[in-house]
Structure 1
Amino acid sequence: MNPADPHPPLLFSLDDHPLLVPLCRELAATPGTLETRLFPDGETYLKVVTPVAGRHCIVVANLANPNNKFLSLIFLLDTLRELGASSVGLVAPYLCYMRQDCRFHKGEAVTSRLFARMLSNHIDWLLTVDPHLHRYHSLADIYTVPSVRVEGTTALTDWLTTQSSLLLVGPDSESEQWVSRVALASGHPYVIGEKQRHGDRHVVVTLPDLSDYQDRTAVIIDDVISSGQTILKCLQAVRQQGITRVKCAAIHGIFADGVDELLLQSGLTELATCNTIPHATNCIDVTPLLVPAIQQCLGIGGNQGSGNR
């Protein structure tokens, strides 16, 4: 982004996302000002203070635990359009509602498609980091606006490359494809576990023989830590084979029900996450990955404008 541009993009965030400041700095963008509060009956009051007419607007949103955030987000996105923004893009480093990607049982809502359909109606482009694309080829399968996916594994690989004598541990077969890529790029060996899931919080993880890696620090890596049960069972399986130095690193740390504290109490020597979801464990920065991706989005979606939708 050209620092001399008389009309740099405006960046807004409803929750003061920690990525807002570094993104403004690296993009030479201007932070937008909002006023928000709740009326006594719990309804949202929102005012966009910064003039936005004719400006490209970017909203940076934390969409973990989204149900109590979605209405305010839609109010902001649509208000920016009504006030004349030339385009409105969404940077959602963690993209919610990607889990239910098919109708597993009769009558279930396929919420990934429903959420994508709703959100697409309010934005000109979308940028996210490592969304859950288990049964979808790309975000274009469900989102109708230009969408860019950034690989957080690049930042994770850089973090692992600075360390030595590691064994990377993928908790299940679903993780093998990207764990193997991270291992090759960072120069560390890896093993993959076998997971059996009997419910949201009932998981069994079995690992191969680790006797050749007793002198290494094990690093359990995963894309998302939600309930944390997969990581917890994997940690137990690693320690049962005699490896006492065990770390964990993930792209997205949701940490439902305070499971981050439970993981550390259970023997993890370090818990590291990317700063896609604000948390005390954020020590892997995805800002360098987002900046060129945002510039790309402004090129492919930033000229559509709200009047063309």
Structure 2
Amino acid sequence: MNLVVVAGSGNPSLADSIAERLGTRVCRSVLNRFPDTELHAEMEESVRGCDVYVVQPTGPPVDRHLMELLFLADACRRAGASRLTAVVPYFGYARQDRRANGREAVGARIAADLLVVAGFERIVALDLHTVSLEGFFSVPLEHLSAVSLFANAIEELVTDKSVIVAPDLGAVKLAERYGELLSLPIAIVHKIRLSGEEVRVRGIVGEVGGRAPIIVDDMISTGGTVEAAAAAMIAAGCIPEIMVVASHALLVGPAIRRLSALPLKRIVVTDSLPTPEHGSLTLQVVSLAPMLAETVTRLNVGESMTELLSHR
């Protein structure tokens, strides 16, 4: 089946890189706003009978990018696309996977339902905030992992003094995978979230004194988790040369200010989102284009995805 790549405005450079590796180009489309801010989406080329992959992370502004993804899906479906797959390197609303207080919406379920209603028959995502999100989708979810990419990228920086650190209990399995790949011990920071921007550390399990921490997580949002974990490890006597490895670099709100004040040797992220302004921070970006192009190729021809999928 003829393969077509479509891009929203969430990360067009990543879509271009994927298309280039596939030996094609991004199919032309139009996304604009009417004077009253209503979104309008239209395909400028035929996708009839095609296997269409819409590349669109739903990062900030989340609602705008989510609506673009839904409208592009509908435009392609109505234009006769035979199969629709959403390639969502960063899935917004993933942290809203349960009710913490009993009276709020479960945003992850709403977003998942909208993608299915729009016509997507398969979803490709990377390092979701929680693996339980797979149960929210009534269509297949291909949950990819960047762990092996990161392990290869930082291997030469690892020493016998390094330690993998999970900044909270939710990142423990992720830390274990890094520990196995890099043959390093792990430590776990026990945190309590006070608000969307503030966290408090209650303790550290594992030895960080005299070691160089490598904090691993799925995302860096406001930097509060990294800030709290780093402060706790410095107090515990770690080597003040901290590395942070995270799949999604949101870096919103006070993130740059917080991270700039820490003794960070390097921050390693993917290009799941456009590279944000990062001031004087040493930011290393690992490209997802090869992995996502390989994923699209395998899905198009029906090959196994086992070695690309997340198993955490």
Q: TM-score, length-normalised on structure 1?
A: 0.85
Secondary structure of 2:253's counterpart equals: helix
Where in structure 2 are the equivalents of 1:1-309 lying within 5 Å? 7-65=2-60, 66-122=62-118, 123-133=120-130, 136=132, 139=134, 141-165=135-159, 166-205=162-201, 206-208=203-205, 210=207, 214=210, 216-240=211-235, 241-280=237-276, 281=283, 283-299=285-301
2:310 corresponds in structure 1 to none
Cα distance 1:59–1:237, how it changes in 2: closer, same or farther (>3 A)?
Answer: same
Cα distance 1:71–1:209, how it changes in 2: closer, same or farther (>3 A)?
Answer: closer
Cα distance 1:146–1:282, how it changes in 2: closer, same or farther (>3 A)?
Answer: farther
Measure, in 2, the Cα distance between the counterparts of 1:223 and 1:71. 24
Measure, in 1, the Cα distance between the counterparts of 2:8 and 2:87. 10
Secondary structure of 1:199's counterpart equals: coil
Measure, in 1, the Cα distance between the counterparts of 2:205 and 2:69. 45
**Which structure has more RCO (C-alpha within 8 Å, separation ≥ 6)?**
1
Gaps of 5+ in 2: 277-282, 304-312
2:213–2:238 contact (8 Å) kept in structure 1: no
Secondary structure of 2:180's counterpart equals: helix
Secondary structure of 2:110's counterpart equals: helix
1:264–1:271 contact (8 Å) kept in structure 2: no
Measure, in 2, the Cα distance between the counterparts of 1:155 and 1:57. 26
Aligned partner letter, 1:145: V
Q: Percent identity?
A: 22
CA apart distance, 1:74: 1.6
Secondary structure of 2:228's counterpart equals: helix
Cα distance 1:111–1:201, how it changes in 2: closer, same or farther (>3 A)?
Answer: same
Alignment: residue pair count: 291
CA apart distance, 1:218: 2.1
CA apart distance, 1:16: 4.3
Measure, in 2, the Cα distance between the counterparts of 1:151 and 1:237. 28
> How big is each residue's C-alpha offset from its partner over 1:173-207, in whole Å with a ceiling of 9 and x where there is no partner?
22122201111111233211111222222312233
Aligned partner letter, 1:170: A
Measure, in 2, the Cα distance between the counterparts of 1:16 and 1:114. 23
Gaps of 5+ in 1: 302-309
